[in-house]
Structure 1
């Protein structure tokens, strides 16, 4: 989102701080834009927006993100595709981000609140998120994250 980056740069926010804020703003805009469709739209919008930016959480890009991608592939092999419309990789990134970043934790909380209904997508999202969160907890216990 070059416009956001330009505005932040003019405000004196540069480097890693600018990258992080740009990613959070883009993700928030995507979640907000997609939230009219409930959990499906919020997850899809958030992941699409975050994909536009470099995923700059406080995760180590060379270590944790490739590990999460590998674990997403393993989950797909074991569990099959998620029951929700989300991808395992996105679910793992959301869960791991919530472990290391307060803004991501608030975003996860918002997604979970939007998914509190009894509609099939909300139920599937909560189930898939629990699986992803368990995987992240296992990785954290192994000191992999």
Structure 2
């Protein structure tokens, strides 16, 4: 996991050098963050907006949107925990730990979904028999 973070940091540093050296943009660190994070955020927003509009057109449940939002938050959380472990040297920073944590959420969510589907099926069955 630590190696992955180092590789990502090197990629970011290379992109920084390209922006500053090759394109001739000389900005402060804060100005560079303003523009890069702003552009990445807007690109992400447009992709997410398109994806959610597609979900809306397909008439999928709000549960799907809730899952996506929660899963995204969980990805941030598990990597924050792994980074914290690397910084404080308490525990081992491992990609496998992050994956295991996300699998825990997915499995528990699937159990929730199955229980929800069973309850939904029982209600539909009872409503059909009452008519």
Question: TM (normalized to structure 2)?
Answer: 0.30
Instruction: Kindly indicate whether structure 1 or structure 2 has the higher relative contact order, using CA contacts under 8 Å at least 6 residues apart.
Output: 2
With normalisation by structure 1, the TM-score equals 0.28
